[in-house]
Amino acid sequence: MENEKQIIQTRFGSALMRLRLDQHLTRQSVVDHNDLSLNALASIENGQALVKLDTLMMLLKYYNMSLKDFSENYVNVANNSDFTTLMSQSITPDTRFFILDTKGATSANNYSDQDFSQYHWNSRQFNKVRTGDWFIYRRPKGSSKFWYFFGAGQIGPITHDAQNNQHAKIVNPIAFTYYLTPEDLIDFPWSFRQRTRQDWLYFFNQYGMTEIQQTDFQGLLNVVLNHMDSQTLLPLTPEILQEDVAVYQHIQRHEPELTEKVEPRKERIGQNQLAELVRLNYGYQCAVTGIHTRSLLIASHIIPWASSPENRLDPSNVICLSPLWDKAFDQGLITFDAFDHTIRLSSQVTEDTHLYQELAPFKGKLLRQPTKDKPKTKFLAYHNRNIFKG
């Protein structure tokens, strides 16, 4: 019964969040015009609380949508919450939930951590994780205060070694195509621990494994899946999620070509995975203007997707740009010098006075550099020669 209630909470909360996002409204703007607290709305949308009928009708009136249209277009359509339903069916009363820190495969951990494949820890530090438990991946960024959630999964078979190290296989992995950052979680209603500081210091356990509540886990997953819903019209079936993971691992390994398994869906899945990684590399900022409104950031290929299959998923063949600069770059009205990375304008730009006024202040300025996977000289040289209109 409790499991069925959670499924209903998840489905209605997910539907209400997608409706709000479709209307380009923030949670704050909704609560400012309705008799509802920010915490209550967040709990409903994250699937942590069941929406009451009077609250539902109040929100639908504000969104100018009938209950019939809401049911047909949001509640009863195939969407990513279907995967949440499948996941909920695998949860038992004994299932535990965790946030697991990882830096991926590094020499420091003897390459024992492989994103979405295996994870290791020492039982002397932490001995709560069991086969069947669920987790969300967190990537700390060195000494920086920045971190992000980039995936989730379930703990599979666990083996042990003589040094008390536990090695777990990861099953049912989910590679997010929308990373959750601290900015996304300012108003998130945590259950496992009260957040008492403006920053996140001491909120997560220092040894990298934090046990959370089921409501925390499913709430975080709902936020991610609703953003992923907005990226595609296709439901995220378990099969597509497996391909998402394969593309993520392909990019991380810098493999030159896609596998046959990924090939049939490589364009949709590959672009979503790559785009989020590129936005992250550029600090969620346009590499020209510094615009940091996340919904406006586009992963813009230097050599077009259709022109170079072997470089489609190479992050160094992509630059994070805002819409105007993405279109101008794609059409050859601007380019970035292959050697000094300065911004160059096509002579055609001067034919449109208003366009020139928008672009001219940045002429000759340096392209902002990402933290990793900087644009390769050979890719920029291709754009300079073959796409830029001089």
More confident residue, 236 or 95: 95
Neighbours of 41 (CB within 10 A): 25
Contacts 24+ apart (CB under 8 A), 107-116: 112/165, 112/167, 115/151, 115/248, 115/249, 115/252, 116/151, 116/153, 116/170, 116/173, 116/175, 116/245, 116/248, 116/249
Least reliable range by pLDDT among 72-81, 111-120, 350-359 = 72-81
Instruction: Kindly tell me if the per-residue pLDDT of 349 is higher than 90.
Output: yes
Q: Domain check: are 43 and 127 in the same one? A: no
pLDDT at 278 over 90: yes
Q: What is the pLDDT at residue 323?
A: 96
Max Cα-Cα span within the chain: 72
Give percent helix, percent strand, percent coil of the chain, each to the nearest 5.
40, 15, 40
Tell whether 39 is covered by a domain.
yes
- pLDDT value at 267 more than 60: no
The answer to whether residue 241 is domain-embedded is no
| pLDDT of amino acid 312 | 85
Q: Do 35 and 112 sit in the same domain of this protein? A: no
Identify whether 88 is part of a domain: no
Name the least confident of 14-23, 85-94, 135-144, 251-260: 251-260
Give yes or no: residues 119 and 165 share one domain: yes
For the cut 90, the answer to whether the pLDDT of residue 361 exceeds it is yes
If you average pLDDT over each of 1-5, 172-176, 272-276, 322-326, which comes out highest?
Answer: 322-326
Residue 76 has pLDDT above 50, yes or no: yes
Q: The CATH number of the domain where 189 resides is what? A: 3.10.590.10
User: Do 118 and 229 belong together in one domain?
Assistant: yes
pLDDT for position 1: 47
**pLDDT value at position 66?**
92
- The reply to whether 71 and 101 lie within a common domain is no
State whether 225 and 112 are in the same domain. Answer: yes
Q: Is residue 257 part of a domain?
A: no
Pairwise pLDDT comparison (242 vs 368), residue with the higher score: 368
CB 58 within 8 A of CB 35: yes
Do 159 and 42 belong together in one domain?
A: no
Task: Please give the residue range of the domain that contains residue 355.
Answer: 265-386
**What SS3 class is residue 375?**
coil
What rounded mean pLDDT belongs to the chain? Answer: 86
Q: Which of 236, 256, 274 is the last residue of a domain?
A: 236
Phi, psi of 147 (to 5 degrees): -155, 170
Angle at 359 between CA 303 and CA 339, to 5 degrees: 45
pLDDT at res. 59? 94
What does the alpha-carbon distance between residue 3 and residue 28 come to, in Å, rounded to a whole number? 30
Q: Tell whether pTM > 0.85.
A: no
**Model confidence over 193-215: pLDDT tens digits?**
998 888 898 899 987 899 999 99
Question: How many domains is the chain partitioned into structurally?
Answer: 3
In a domain, 259, yes or no: no
Query: At 354, is the pLDDT very low, low, confident or very high (cuts 50, 70, 90)?
Result: very high
Which of the pair, 388 or 103, is modelled with greater confidence? 388
* 231 and 271 both lie in a single domain: no
- In the structure, what pLDDT confidence band is assigned to residue 390 with cuts at 50, 70 and 90? confident
Banded model confidence at residue 22, pLDDT cuts 50, 70, 90: confident
Q: Using alpha carbons, select from 45, 42, 38 the residue that is nearest to residue 84.
A: 45
Instruction: Identify which has the larger pLDDT, 128 or 47.
Output: 128
* Closest residue by Cα to residue 8 from 218, 212, 225: 218
Residue 230, domain member (yes or no): yes
Q: For residue 167, tell me if it sits in a domain.
A: yes
* Residue 156 domain flag: yes
C-alpha distance from residue 341 to each of 231, 284, 292 (Å): 31, 19, 21
Element (H, E) at 55: helix 53-62
Contact residues for 115 (Cβ-Cβ < 8 A; gap 6+) = 102, 104, 105, 137, 151, 248, 249, 252
- Given a cut of 80, whether residue 81 has pLDDT beyond it is no
The CATH number for 15's domain is: 1.10.260.40
pLDDT at position 3:
54
- Does residue 232 share a domain with residue 101? yes
For the chain, what percent of residues have pLDDT higher than 70? 86
Highest mean pLDDT among 88-97, 128-137, 222-231: 128-137
**Whether residue 152 has pLDDT greater than 70:** yes
Q: What pLDDT, on the 0 to 100 scale, is given for residue 262?
A: 46
pLDDT at 180 over 60: yes
Predicted confidence at residue 264, as pLDDT, reads 44
- Mean pLDDT is highest, among 52-61, 88-97, 299-308, 343-352, for 343-352
Asked whether residue 109 falls in the same domain as residue 198, the answer is: yes
Q: Is the pLDDT of residue 14 over 90?
A: no
**pLDDT at residue 149, rounded to an integer:** 97
Q: In the listed set 196, 219, 236, which residue is the last one of a domain according to the structure?
A: 236
122 and 223 share one domain: yes
Same structural domain, 326 and 376 = yes
pLDDT of residue 286: 98
